[in-house]
Amino acid sequence: MTESPRVTDVESLLRTPLHDLHVSLGARMVPFAGYSMPVQYPTGILAEHRHTRTAAGLFDVAHMGQVTLRGPDVHRRLETLVPADVQGIAPGAVRYSQLTDEQGGILDDLMISNAGDHVVAVVNASRKHADVAHMKAGLPGIAVELAEDRALLALQGPGSAAVMARLAPPAAALAFMTFTACPVAGIPCGVSRSGYTGEDGFEISVPADRAVALAERLLAEPEVRPIGLGARDSLRLEAGLCLYGHDIDTTTTPVEAGLAWSIQARRRREGGFPGAAVIQRQLAEGPPRRRVGLRPEGSAPAREGTEILDAAGNAIGRVTSGGFGPTVSAPVAMGYVAAAAAAPGTPVQLVVRGQARPARVVALPFVPHRYKRS
Amino acid sequence: MTATGHRGLDHEEPLLFEQDEPGRTGVDLPAPKGGQDRLGGRARTRPLGLPGLAEPQVVRHFTRLSQRNYAIDAGMYPLGSCTMKHNPRLNERVARLPGLGDLHPLQPAKTVRGAVALMHTLAHWLTTLCGMPAVALSPAAGAHGELCGLMTIRAALEARGDARKRVLVPESAHGTNPATAAQCGYAIESIPATARGRVDLAALKAKLDGSVAALMLTNPNTCGLFEDEVQEAARLVHQVGGFFYGDGANFNAIVGRVRPGDLGVDAMHINLHKTFSTPHGGGGPGSGPVVLSEALAPFAPLPHIVVRDGRPRLVEHDGKAFGRIRAFHGQMGMFIRALAYMMSHGADGLRQVAEDSVLNANYVMAALKDDFTPAFPGPCMHECLFDDRSLKDTGVTTLDIAKALIDEGFHPMTIYFPLVVHGALLVEPTETESKATLDEFIGAMKALARRAHEEGAAERFHAAPTLAPRRRLDETTAARKPVLRWRPATPSAAAE
Amino acid sequence: MTERRYTREHEWITVDGDVATVGITDFAQEQLGDVVYVELPAVGRKVTRGGEAAVVESVKAASEVYAPLSGEVVAVNEALAQEPATVNADPFGKGWFLKMKLADRGELDGLMDEKAYRAFLAESH
Amino acid sequence: MRYLPLTQEDRRAMLATIGVASIDDLFVDVPPSARLAAPVDLPLHQGEIEVERTFRAFAAQNLGTTGVPCFLGAGAYRHHVPASVDALIQRGEFLTSYTPYQPEVSQGTLQALFEFQTMVAMMTGMEVANASMYDGASATAEAVLMANRVTRRTRAVLSGGLHPHYRDTVVTYARYSDFRIEALPLDPEGREDLAARLDGDTSCLVVQYPGFFGHVRDLAPLAQKAHAAGALLVVVVTEAVALGLLETPGAMGADIVVAEGQSLGIPLSFGGPYLGLFATRDRYVRQMPGRICGETTDAEGRRGWVLTLSTREQHIRREKATSNICTNSGLCALAFTIHLALLGEAGFERLARLNHEAAIRLADRLASVKGVEVVNDTFFNELTLRLARPAALAVDALADARILAGVPVSRLAPEDKASENLLLVAATELTTDQEIEALATALGGVLS
């Protein structure tokens, strides 16, 4: 299991362009993926979580990797590393996919944007250098470039569309999983309608030296408040979205992780990506285990690593993410269980602090997605 | 007189039809393949009589014609109630962008998201500036907007089973106001003005009852004055269940500083070709969106723009709308230009527009108060009004002053309007004129005032203009024996 | 033929038997300026006093000519269509507008005579 | 602010001249409760760079008709506009001049309008035309109001071959003028008997030529029947290029001809601004709405032009005006005139022929596609298809392949369920055989 590098020497931590802004806003900074990031602001995680679900929250995700791939036939070439139909991505559209290994395991998950003559991939902070090396090795002749001069902000929540309509009118026209180049409050940006909270929202790529100006402008809007990593995790968990290094890694396949929807028909048929044999077999015969949602019956949250037993007490898997769901206002968790026990409604037990407590397998997400599809 | 009839750079130019060479063309098109047509025997056999010219001839023809026009690019256009301001060329560029200028109005929605978002953004700016909840974008010009506004009002009244028959209009109103009300089937009654050049509230009260559908009021009014009792007027109209229609022709005076919604307006058209700088083009096209109150919004004509699923969408069919007043969605080309202008100014710049336009007008009035007679005591708003008392006994008329101004290199101001002031001269400098230009204009006006009182002034003034491409034209003969088209000298097959 | 009578709308009327001839006064044509167009009613049309009977236009003004009396139009001055300027040149003669058969001679009493009309002009203008 | 010449120093000096302390002293007549203390809640001013970026972003969200297979018509057509048209209309002396109320300094605009009126009269086969209206639909509504004035009648009959949006516009205008309209049901086959609807109170028959569904019919018999019943024939043309090839409405007996002029010199621009053409007979000129330019002479006896017969108009006649129209489509009329001047008699005829031939190729190719039936026997550059499934679905599917397949009749008349499978397709001089092939192949795909 790939963990975020444990950095103890705070001084050696990297900083995003917004670091000083976070500090000035009273954020509690913690190490994450080698960066010093805000885990919460004075209002606290619960308030931040609820604010994002009801208004609009601003997230600093500048630590993530924005990778540009440029070169002859880049769309088709990229398909040799990911199971998604990259050639089928319309210009201006975005698709979710994974970098897989020969066993069908997941090296990282990523967003792929078709910018016409080139492709932009957004990858996880903890994996970005490994991913770039992997792509360079796998795609000779394709220029793979990790943008060092750009920051990434996410504006998420039902109020975000109104904010963008004021500051970036053209972005108001975007459908879910599409992007456009568009000034935001006069600052040239790349804007996509996507996110990591299950809410309507936007992800904004901005030149690093304008990031603070943009963040301050966005925070000046009545709907917008800054949101830290804590709420980001509870929001994505309720939305049933995977966190790399926890819910997915090289030991899990896209099929086991319930991400088969991100493998389009042509690729299922034709294969041609790392681990295709494993994945195609799992698609045909079904995987041995599946990622599921779990609802503990009591009020005790089940944390990552919690053992999952079936009704008879046999170990059938482990919790990969878990905690209290502020919107569900109950504990929620995700984990892998044997395929036989994956059906929603299946009673299971979670071993919390040495004691087996009753829980139920439930369908994901815990909170319905509110994306703006066309 | 020159041998050619030309006067230096001022060329005499014959009509296109007088340069015709049959068979000649200025466009090279591929040769048709020929063969059987599918016109069911309706093909035309006789020529239409269109003239044949090559491209250089056409380009020169229209270039020479253009040189016989006055234009805001060339000089000040102090036309009262017309707001002839600078037309930024950025607006022209963005209106022609591929993906905007080449959109068909009936493309599938998914292929025109940006266009609809643009219209929605324009609507947001207009409603915010007016403090009104909704706007109907489709009207093609100010008068079309008035028609739209009054139809909306009548639809709203009929929806509550309230057939009203009368519309009240001040004497000083634009002619379009009564003409529009009549076109909507209403009887028009005019309200006198007070000595202060404002609507006579007492007279208004006297006419108000349950049969009044609407009061139409321009504010600032056509005398260039702000109707300081406008809120009371609105209250009175609302009291009897009528609506308050605002004519937005003079919005330039208050944009960013006063919101019509705060004055009690229920509907008001906005001339994008005035306040928001879309070019007047020698008489159009314009664009006249109508902002609407909560009560009227549901009845707005099609199409509507509504936000659904977080995105603005075009609604082309809807039961409550009173109908449709044109083929498609509105003057998109003008929306783009107006929005580019608004975004260039921003909230701060637009406020400055109102302030500078009012400052310029008051500056001109103050500078000329001893040479011409201001019709009303100041301050004025964006335009200042003089009457012709100062010309008494000179034999020189308001028209003479206007024509003489042409020889001084300026376009005349609006004259004989509003009708409530004798020999009116209505001057609207707009905010895009520099102090230097205003001073030159003031100097010219002072000189004309002085000359008007000299010996034999009348004859000299009646002769003006003498330096324009044409002297005064005989409008009487034009109207008595109308010649409204060119006809070939010898009747040919082309002529009916 | 009776003496000329006038209305407050600056129309003149002369009566011959039960047929009245109607035109506009010298003052009216003066006010209008160069007349460029005259629109006359169809012969046989019934008009009532105060109703719209004709339209007279100059370059920048148009005004209705109201029937000074009730009756039926029996003749109109076709010549005005070709030469509207006649209204300016000879308002009381060749510039006449229409002839009408009177429905009620009593209406004549409501009209002003020359003296009264002059007085009316003096006070109102 | 780049558009505002006054400096702070200017403002101070001017306030001093006026004799007030601050700009607020000039707004004293505004009720205090209505004075905004601060700028409204909108973004602040921006430079050209930022503004242009924003509009490029708007544009990037759309699929322009340039360079993709496009068969859209129904009242707006993708045509070639010669380069010199746009160059000439952008001359500041045309672009930034006002309505020519001061003829001495507006001869350029006035002479162009006189040439425009002449060309419109020629191509419609009428005697006189005005200086333009907003668009074809509003011009049609004004034509009906005019027919009512001329005939002193109050009932108009609209053909089922009239563009549904034009129909809706006429109905709207008439409703508020208290006139009656009988609109016949949509007539895709062109079989209606319009004359049968004539009665003693009918002011006019309104028929489109070529029809909304593309049919080209002989209007002479209709004109005769209308005139016999004391009614006028109003002919509506939504594709002006058709007049390059077809018999003029005037020659067939039309009394009023209105048209949409967009096809000549005017960009599609998502539906506006467009150009309403309005032509009629000399005898009705004083009932015609809109501005008119006329020829005269100046004080030196030189030929010149003025706006004339203005006593019909609102600024003089007020509530008795023939129409409330003021600003019209001046610059569009200029573009139209320049384009037609460049084409000339020969070029206009050739342009029309190229359009017709492209439409014939389109019709013949599509007729061979399974699930497609060509409804028309006659047409100019637009025709009606009956598909094996709802047209809107097919069009939507083809849009994903970046093909703008045409206009589903249901887009304009959703209430008419019978026409749910009808698709209007148009071809112009810009339509290539490759585009026709792309449409035929893709359409075959979605219909199979």
Domain ranges, ordered by start, for chain B: 90-343, 349-480
Give me the pLDDT at residue A3, please. Answer: 42
Radius of gyration of chain D (CA): 25
Following CA atoms B418, B420, B422, B425 in sequence, which dihedral angle do they give, to the nearest 10 degrees? -20
Q: How far apart are CA A198 and CA A53, in angstroms?
A: 9
Q: Which residues of D touch C57 (CB under 8 A)?
A: 311
Q: Do B53 and D380 touch (CB under 8 A)?
A: no
Contact A70, A82 (CB under 8 A): no
Q: What is the pLDDT of residues B28-45, one digit of tens each?
A: 999 999 999 999 999 999
Question: How many alpha carbons lie under 13 Å from residue C26 in its C-beta half-sphere?
Answer: 9
Check whether residue A294 and residue A354 sit in a common domain: yes
Q: Which residues of D touch A186 (CB under 8 A)?
A: 43, 46, 50
Closest partner CB to D43 (pick from A173, A185, A188): A185
Q: Do C57 and B480 touch (CB under 8 A)?
A: no
Q: How far apart are CA C100 and CA C53, in angstroms?
A: 11
Reported as type and span, the H/E element at residue C82 is helix C79-82
Please report which confidence band the pLDDT of residue B490 belongs to, taking 50, 70 and 90 as the band edges: low
Residue A299's domain spans which residues? Answer: 288-374
Contact B168, B148 (CB under 8 A): no
Q: Do C57 and D310 touch (CB under 8 A)?
A: no
Q: Pick the last residue of a domain from A203, A238, A273.
A: A238
Question: Is the Cβ of B14 closer than 8 Å to some Cβ of chain D?
Answer: no
Distances, alpha carbon D323 to alpha carbons B66, B272, B284, B288, D286, in Å: 29, 21, 17, 17, 12
Give me the pLDDT at residue A10, please. Answer: 56
Asked if residue A293 belongs to a domain, the reply is: yes
Mean pLDDT of A330-347: 95
Give me the CATH topology for the region B349-480: Aspartate Aminotransferase, domain 1 (3.90.1150)
Check whether residue A218 and residue A312 sit in a common domain: no
Compute the nearest-CA separation of B480 from chain C (Å).
5
Check whether residue A49 and residue A165 sit in a common domain: yes
Question: Which of the following CATH numbers is that of domain B90-343: 3.40.640.10, 3.30.390.30, 3.40.50.880, 1.10.390.10?
Answer: 3.40.640.10
**Which CATH number do you get for residue A55?**
3.30.1360.120
Compute the nearest-CA separation of C81 from chain B (Å).
9
Please report which confidence band the pLDDT of residue A338 belongs to, taking 50, 70 and 90 as the band edges: very high
Q: What is the pLDDT of residues B395-444, one digit of tens each?
A: 999 999 999 999 999 999 999 999 889 999 999 999 999 999 999 999 99
Strands D232-237 and D202-208 come out as parallel
- Flag whether pLDDT at C92 surpasses 90: yes
Give me the pLDDT at residue A4, please. Answer: 44
Contact A238, A72 (CB under 8 A): no
Cα–Cα–Cα angle for B44, B48, B51, rounded to 5 degrees: 145
Check whether residue A52 and residue A153 sit in a common domain: yes
Q: Do B108 and D360 touch (CB under 8 A)?
A: no
Q: What are phi and psi of D385, to 5 degrees?
A: -110, 145
Please report which confidence band the pLDDT of residue A11 belongs to, taking 50, 70 and 90 as the band edges: low
Cα–Cα–Cα angle for D351, D355, D360, rounded to 5 degrees: 145
Mean pLDDT of A11-27: 92
The DSSP symbol for D252 reads: G
Q: How far apart are CA B397 and CA A320, in angstroms?
A: 92
Give me the pLDDT at residue C125, please. Answer: 65
Mean pLDDT of C37-52: 91
Q: What is the pLDDT of residues D356-409, one digit of tens each?
A: 999 999 999 999 999 999 999 999 999 999 999 999 999 999 999 999 999 999
Q: What is the pLDDT of residues B311-335, one digit of tens each?
A: 899 999 887 788 999 999 999 999 9
Q: Which residues of B touch D399 (CB under 8 A)?
A: 107-108, 110-111
Asked if residue A54 belongs to a domain, the reply is: yes
Reported as type and span, the H/E element at residue B243 is strand B243-247
Mean pLDDT of A67-85: 96
Asked if residue A264 belongs to a domain, the reply is: no
Q: What is the pLDDT of residues A203-252, one digit of tens each?
A: 999 999 999 999 999 999 999 999 999 999 999 999 999 999 999 999 99
Q: How far apart are CA C50 and CA C64, in angstroms?
A: 10
Check whether residue A209 and residue A336 sit in a common domain: no
Chains A and D touch (3+ CB pairs under 8 A): yes
Structure tokens at A14: 């990297």
Reported as type and span, the H/E element at residue D259 is strand D256-260
Contact A57, A156 (CB under 8 A): yes
The DSSP symbol for A248 reads: B
Q: What is the mean pLDDT of chain B?
A: 95
**Which of A167, A182, A371, A374 has the highest number of chain B CBs within 10 A, making it the mutation to test binding with B?**
A374
Structure tokens at A197: 């909270």
Question: Which CATH architecture does the domain made up of C5-124 adopt?
Answer: Beta Barrel (2.40)
- Flag whether pLDDT at B338 surpasses 50: yes
Cα four-point dihedral sign A313, A317, A322, A325: negative
Please report which confidence band the pLDDT of residue C3 belongs to, taking 50, 70 and 90 as the band edges: confident
Chains A and C touch (3+ CB pairs under 8 A): no
Q: Do D60 and A170 touch (CB under 8 A)?
A: yes
- Structural domains in chain D plus CATH codes: 83-339 (3.40.640.10), 344-447 (3.90.1150.10)
Residue A203: strand pairing partners? A154, A192
Collapsing DSSP states into helix, strand and coil, what is residue A332?
Answer: strand
Q: Do B473 and D103 touch (CB under 8 A)?
A: yes
Q: How far apart are CA B218 and CA B169, in angstroms?
A: 9
Q: How far apart are CA D118 and CA D333, in angstroms?
A: 12
Q: Which residues of D touch C62 (CB under 8 A)?
A: 311, 316-317, 320
- Provide the residue-wise pLDDT of chain D in tens; the chain has 448 residues: 999 999 999 999 999 999 999 999 999 999 999 999 999 999 999 999 999 999 999 999 999 999 899 999 999 999 999 999 999 999 999 999 999 999 999 999 999 999 999 999 999 999 999 999 999 999 999 999 999 999 999 999 999 999 999 999 999 999 887 789 999 999 999 999 999 999 999 999 999 999 999 999 999 999 999 999 999 999 999 999 999 999 999 999 999 999 999 999 999 999 999 999 999 999 999 999 999 999 999 999 999 999 999 888 888 788 888 888 888 999 999 999 999 999 999 999 999 999 999 999 999 999 999 999 999 999 999 999 999 999 999 999 999 999 999 999 999 999 999 999 999 999 999 999 999 999 999 999 999 8
Q: Pick the last residue of a domain from A218, A238, A258.
A: A238
